[in-house]
Amino acid sequence: MAVQNRSNHTVTGDIEAETASLDRHGYLFGQKITHSLSPLLHQVIYDHLSLRWGQVRLDSSDVRRFLDLIQHPSFYGASVTMPNKIAILPHLDEMTDECRDVGACNTIFLKHRGGRRLLCGDNTDVVGIRDAFRHNVADPAAAYHGRPALVVGGGGAARSAVYALRKWMAVTDIYLVNRDAAEVEAMMRDCTSRGYGQGLLHVATEEQAQALAGPGAAVGCVPDFAPRTDEEKLARRVTEALLSKDHQGAMLEMCYNPTPFTALGAVAEKRGWQVILGTEALIYQGLEKDQYWTGRPLEELPVEKVKAAIAANVAQRSQAR
């Protein structure tokens, strides 16, 4: 059963062969997923629980093929990544509030009701962001409660960050910085229409940044590339101006590939911020997924084993660079 991508090249690996030895299987459905840590994270959990389960990489944007594959009775759920997070939405039977409000699905799980199998979607990125702060910041009241927050970026991860900050983290205004003003405007419209866009402020110039109160929580949602265009360079200067205030809080850098030690994280750390690696958000959003898939509460999942496995993999990658 070969899977075709948009270039009509067969994706490496035979799906049936990969799933034949498993009692149950899931998918990581997206593109550019070769180096994803998702299958490793979930395998640590399944091994700990003595489950013959596994998550198979499905490098594809073919939603119809994916929908055919998941009809298999051994399918338990899927992680969904770019470019499929939005494309999958019309095919879901149910969505959580987070999935609906962010407008993107990164998790598929199953429900059974009245003899029907329901395809349900969630966005666990918001929990990953929330819990990355919750489990790493010793005094959130001092760090970011009652203070403005900062989100750098304008895509799906940025929307998840705004949702988490607004719903759970007791921040006031949320500053938005991005190279593309139209992207920020679209995000502000979307967040407002879905009920969590209050207090969003596009910070577009250094002068504007210098006049604002300093943020207490920051979330970086852009790739770890050196700024090249004039718009990218301006966005970096605006970000640095906001990170250079008298108050230093905690910054979560969502980017972790190829390494979680990013240039933007280094900028924040140099200015006295506590930097939380993107692998922390990865871990907590993954644990949220497996609570759906296995039916086990967080207390029964091997959190420390997962952290150790991810840290070891990151260290190995860093040594190989």
Q: Where do the domains of the chain lie, and which CATH numbers do they carry?
A: 15-123 (3.40.50.10860), 127-279 (3.40.50.720)
β-partners of residue 275 are 251
Q: How many CA atoms are closer than 13 Å to the CA of 178, on its beta-carbon side?
A: 24
* Sheet of strand 274-276, all strands in order from the earlier edge strand to the far edge: 200-202, 174-177, 149-152, 217-220, 250-253, 274-276
**pLDDT band (50, 70, 90) for residue 3:** very low
User: Could you give the CA distance from residue 225 to residue 264 in angstroms, rounded to a whole number?
Assistant: 9
Q: Which two tokens stand for residue 106?
A: 């990164």
90-113 pLDDT per residue, tens: 999 999 999 999 999 999 999 999
**pLDDT band (50, 70, 90) for residue 321:** low
* Stated pTM of the model: 0.91
132-169 pLDDT per residue, tens: 999 999 999 999 999 999 999 998 899 999 999 999 99
Grouping H, G, I as helix, E, B as strand and the rest as coil, residue 137 is coil
